[in-house]
């Protein structure tokens, strides 16, 4: 005790400095929103990093179960194999399938007659309208990938909200792993869009493909959206992925409007299930 007091007395200058400095800095962080936000952000980054590390360790420890599950799945798939069946004869001909029944999507070719890429709310106009079977909420794609959604239809023309419109969000997923998120344009570069809501334990690589998820009942599943160019953690738990769009909106010409033949049925089912 005596030693402690002597120590405090001897170093009172340094100790008082530390004390007052802590008081002052606590005041700074408690009362100034800006600094406290940064400190909070840093601590979240640290916790996110630690979570990622512990997750990878946990993943390693559970390899045995993962192996068993995969083995079981392999067994099932092998049982499904054509060679597992008694009869080795393939079906007589393709015509046995009812093609109209099997078919779900119908592609209407169209030409872009007006286009803009330099605004926040860009629009496209197409030379096909109600006469050609175009309706609102149909998907529009080009040969390279997603273009947008039909919003207005007249007799012979239709307008499209392209991906380059800050109001549009498209449900997309990683082609490899199937994790899905919401893709939107931030209004800046007409070649880049942002994919959010991908959990941060998902391993991403530059160049990975992003495709539509097919959850929105507008776009069919698996249409190319773009490739990953960059990604960073935001909000601690999610990736913010920068996506290089595969469609070049600045020289868009030939597109297809996709008519979903089963859309009405799907929407009715969802409505009756109380989705909306």
Partner 1 sequence: MIKILLRNILRIIVLVSFQVFILNNVQFSGYVNPYFYILFIILLPFETPGWLLLSLSFVLGLSIDLFSNTPGLHASATVFMAFIRPAVLGYFAPRDGYMPGTFPRIYYYGFSWFFQYSAILILAHHFFLFYIEVFRFTDFFHTFTRAILSSAFTLLLVLISQYFIYRK
- Which of the residues 33 through 92 are near partner 1 (CB under 8 A)? 34-35, 38
Rule CB under 8 A: is residue 28 a binding residue for partner 1? Answer: yes
Q: Least distance to partner 1 from the beta carbon of 32, Å?
A: 7
Q: Which residues pair with 106 in a beta bridge?
A: 259
Q: Least distance to partner 1 from the beta carbon of 43, Å?
A: 14
Q: Least distance to partner 1 from the beta carbon of 234, Å?
A: 17
Q: Which residues pair with 150 in a beta bridge?
A: 160
Residue 141 CA to residue 126 CA, distance in Å, equals 12
Q: Which tokens belong to 35?
A: 């600094």
Rule CB under 8 A: is residue 10 a binding residue for partner 1? Answer: no
C-alpha torsion 37→40→41→45, nearest 10: 180
Residue placing its CB nearer to partner 1 in the complex, 28 or 113: 28
Rule CB under 8 A: is residue 206 a binding residue for partner 1? Answer: no
- Selected binder of partner 1 within 1, 4, 24, 95 (CB under 8 A): 24
- Selected binder of partner 1 within 27, 66, 114, 203 (CB under 8 A): 27
- Selected binder of partner 1 within 7, 10, 17, 62 (CB under 8 A): 17
Rule CB under 8 A: is residue 30 a binding residue for partner 1? Answer: yes
∠ CA 133-138-139, rounded to 5°: 125
Interface positions with partner 1 (CB under 8 A):
12-14, 16-17, 20-21, 23-32, 34-35, 38
């Amino acid at each position: 005790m005596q030693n402690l007091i002597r120590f405090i007395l001897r170093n009172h200058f340094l100790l008082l400095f530390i004390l007052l400095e802590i008081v002052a800095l606590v005041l700074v962080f408690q009362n100034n929103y800006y600094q406290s936000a940064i400190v909070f952000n840093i601590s979240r980054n640290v916790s996110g990093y630690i979570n990622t590390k512990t997750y990878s360790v946990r993943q390693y420890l559970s390899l045995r179960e993962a192996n068993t599950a995969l083995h079981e799945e392999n067994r099932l798939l092998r049982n499904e194999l054509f060679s597992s069946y008694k009869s080795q004869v393939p079906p007589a001909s393709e015509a046995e399938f009812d093609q109209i029944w099997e078919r779900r999507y119908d592609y209407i070719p169209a030409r872009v007659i007006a286009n803009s890429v330099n605004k926040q709310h860009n629009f496209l106009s197409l030379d096909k309208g109600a006469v050609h079977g175009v309706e609102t909420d149909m998907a529009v794609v080009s040969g390279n990938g997603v273009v947008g959604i039909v919003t207005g239809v007249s007799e012979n023309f239709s307008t499209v909200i392209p991906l380059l419109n800050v109001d549009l969000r498209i449900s997309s997923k990683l082609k490899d792993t199937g994790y899905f998120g919401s893709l939107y344009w931030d209004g800046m570069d007409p070649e880049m869009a942002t994919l959010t809501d991908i959990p941060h334990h998902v391993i991403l690589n530059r160049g990975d493909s992003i495709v539509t998820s097919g959850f929105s009942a507008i776009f069919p599943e698996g249409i190319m959206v773009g490739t990953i160019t960059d990604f960073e953690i935001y909000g601690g738990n999610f990736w913010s992925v920068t996506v290089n769009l595969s469609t070049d909106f600045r020289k868009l010409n030939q597109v297809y409007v996709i008519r979903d033949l089963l859309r009405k049925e799907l929407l009715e089912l969802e409505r009756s299930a109380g989705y909306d």
